[in-house]
Amino acid sequence: MPTTLNSRHVAVIGAGAAGLAAARELRQEGHNIVVFERNVQIGGTWVYDPQVESDPLGLDPSRTIIHPSLYSSLRINLPKEAMGFRVYPFIPKNDETRDSRRYPGHREAMLYLQNFAREFGIEEMVKLSLRWLMLH
């Protein structure tokens, strides 16, 4: 006998690929979702930050810790056809500023995730670091 799902308030940690997909699926199941992202924009590990640690060996305990996830020339390592979500294929936008290669750069992966969030109304559920830190 099927059970009735009770709507829950659910926090999703991270607005990268997994967090955005989880938020979409959970909302489709009727839950109220908030996605907490420590970065200032949607995209998870695909958000490029050129900053590097001043003390890469971690000897100075008072250093500012920076968590770089990628380098400036990084491209995705699998074809974009395999990287996209089934409900939202990774198809390049018809725009000359976008990277239409089969293995595009990190910026295109970030833009894909941001477009996915916008398309499925997830964007308004995301609390970016600046927004939710200022509220608390």
35: nearest Cα among 113, 136, 128:
128
**In this structure, what CATH number is given to the domain that contains residue 62?**
3.50.50.60
Residue 131 pLDDT greater than 70, yes or no: no
Q: Which domain holds residue 120?
A: 9-127
Model pLDDT, residue 85: 94
User: How many domains are there within the chain?
Assistant: 1
> Within a domain: residue 3?
no
Residue 109 CB coordination number (10 Å) = 26
Reported pTM = 0.83
